């Protein structure tokens, strides 16, 4: 227990220092890069400070796996150079027992990263959007969501020009009923359609209905005071262009995707973002496993430098692999769940395999 507390204390100390240095370097570099931007819009110092308060949570969350990685390597390197690792292994400590405190801390940091991404980052990103739009550029702050202009029903589609969510009325609706995937059986349009709370569907008022035969020729045109549709969902909310999934919590994004699917929308790119909200926080734990084999394999200083370089290369491969998986999922070539977790699983299995071999002395 004493050894574990000592291990964790030294590791967290290094991690805190690295997080602080990362944040300081980022703020200085970003300020130098955006100085012209701030001067162009005559941004005041309080506004600039508010801008960086909003920027930092997302930046720190993204950089945290790297600080975890560096801190793990440096902690084990310091212990190895001082002979502490050799002494503990000579006393019979296995690699897993020796490194279990770091693994537990990595798991807890992963949980913390998810919580920060769920409760802190969305609010800070919305604050950043507000500061950039209103306080710096002095523009009107537009809402984050739009309403889709079409809703899918059972063998039908309802399209419209405007939706009033308070009165639950759509204006200038066009209603299509399909005989099959390529043939329209019925087409109707009206000035408005209202949502029927009793039957839970949309109904067109004073609709002009055109019926087509199997050859696509107009068979009948009629006017009906009320036309009940098979569309049972309200228009789904969709994110405005330029809005990122970071501005939504996991629950908000999950609900957005579910409602969009039910109404016939397609948010494949957002589905990958949803899964990565779960998988990416565990990069902290994964990077702990990634650091352990390289940091413990040798005790010579030169080999430690090589280990750091190898870990950095592996980290870059990890992020490039995740980006590639995301692109494939967005193009429909890969399941979003597989795309979000595949690289994690491959790296974790590889790191555990190397650790087991190292523990046997091979």
Residue 311 structure tokens: 């870990």
Q: Assess whether pLDDT exceeds 90 at residue 277.
A: yes
Higher local confidence (pLDDT), 157 or 315: 157
Mean pLDDT of 231-256: 87
- The share of the chain scoring above pLDDT 90, in percent, equals 47
Collect all residues with Cβ–Cβ distance below 8 Å to 129 and sequence separation of at least 6.
Answer: 141, 247
pLDDT tens, position by position, 259-272 = 787 777 667 778 88
The closest alpha carbon to 286, from 68, 77, 76, belongs to 68
Collect all residues with Cβ–Cβ distance below 8 Å to 161 and sequence separation of at least 6.
Answer: 149, 170, 171, 172
Q: Give the DSSP letter of residue 240.
A: P
pLDDT for residue 258: 84
Query: Contact 151/231 with Cβ under 8 angstroms?
Result: yes
Q: Assess whether pLDDT exceeds 60 at residue 76.
A: yes
Largest CA distance in the chain: 92
**Chain CA centroid to CA 334, Å:** 17
Q: Assess whether pLDDT exceeds 70 at residue 78.
A: yes
How many CA atoms lie less than 13 Å away from 187 in the CB half-sphere? 10
Query: Contact 149/143 with Cβ under 8 angstroms?
Result: no
- Alpha-carbon distance of 22 to 20, in angstroms, equals 5
- Supply the mean pLDDT for the chain: 86
Q: Assess whether pLDDT exceeds 60 at residue 361.
A: no
Q: Assess whether pLDDT exceeds 90 at residue 242.
A: no
Q: Is the dihedral of CA 33, 39, 41, 45 positive or negative?
A: positive
> DSSP for 91-153?
TT--HHHHHHHHHHHHHHHHHHHHHIIIIIHHHHHHHHHHIIIIIIS------SEEE-SEEEE
Higher local confidence (pLDDT), 170 or 82: 170
pLDDT for residue 95: 64
Whole-prediction pTM: 0.79
> DSSP for 61-93?
HHHHHHHHHHHHHHHHHHHHHTTHHHHHHHTT-
- Alpha-carbon distance of 229 to 84, in angstroms, equals 75
pLDDT tens, position by position, 10-48 = 899 999 999 999 999 999 999 999 999 999 999 999 999
Higher local confidence (pLDDT), 232 or 237: 232
The closest alpha carbon to 291, from 344, 342, 343, 348, belongs to 348
Q: Would you call 173 helix, strand, or coil by DSSP?
A: coil
């Amino acid at each position: 227990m004493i050894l574990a507390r000592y291990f964790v204390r030294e590791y967290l100390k290094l991690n805190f220092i690295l997080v602080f240095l990362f944040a300081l370097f980022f703020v200085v570099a970003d300020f130098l890069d955006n100085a012209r931007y701030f001067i162009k819009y005559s941004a005041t110092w309080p506004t600039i400070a508010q801008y960086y308060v909003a920027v930092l949570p997302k930046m720190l969350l993204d950089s945290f796996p790297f600080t975890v990685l560096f801190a793990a390597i440096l902690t084990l390197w310091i212990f190895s150079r001082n002979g502490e690792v050799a002494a503990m292994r000579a006393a019979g400590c296995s690699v897993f027992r020796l490194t279990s405190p770091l693994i537990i801390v990595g798991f807890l940091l992963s949980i913390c990263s998810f919580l920060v991404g769920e409760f802190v980052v969305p609010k800070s990103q919305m604050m950043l959007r507000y500061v950039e739009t209103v306080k710096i550029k002095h523009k009107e702050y537009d809402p984050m969501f739009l309403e889709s202009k079409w809703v899918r029903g059972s063998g039908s589609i309802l399209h419209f020009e405007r939706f009033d969510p308070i009165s639950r009325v759509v204006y200038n609706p066009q209603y299509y009923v399909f005989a099959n995937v390529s043939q329209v059986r019925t087409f109707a349009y009206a000035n408005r359609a209202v949502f029927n709370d009793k039957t839970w569907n949309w109904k067109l008022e004073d609709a002009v209905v055109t019926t087509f035969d199997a050859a696509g020729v107009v068979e009948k045109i009629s006017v009906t005071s009320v036309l009940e549709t098979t569309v049972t969902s309200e228009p789904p909310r969709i994110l405005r262009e330029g809005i990122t999934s970071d501005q939504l919590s996991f629950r908000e994004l999950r609900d957005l995707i579910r409602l969009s699917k039910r109404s016939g929308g397609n948010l494949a790119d957002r589905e990958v973002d949803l899964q990565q909200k779960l998988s990416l926080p565990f990069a902290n734990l994964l990077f702990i496993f990634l650091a352990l084999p390289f940091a413990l394999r040798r005790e010579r200083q030169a080999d430690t430098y090589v280990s750091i370089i190898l870990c950095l290369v592996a980290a870059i491969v990890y992020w490039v692999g995740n980006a590639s998986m995301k692109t494939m999922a967005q193009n429909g070539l890969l399941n979003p769940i597989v795309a979000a977790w595949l690289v994690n699983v491959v790296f974790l299995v590889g790191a555990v395999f190397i650790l087991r071999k190292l523990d046997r002395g091979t």
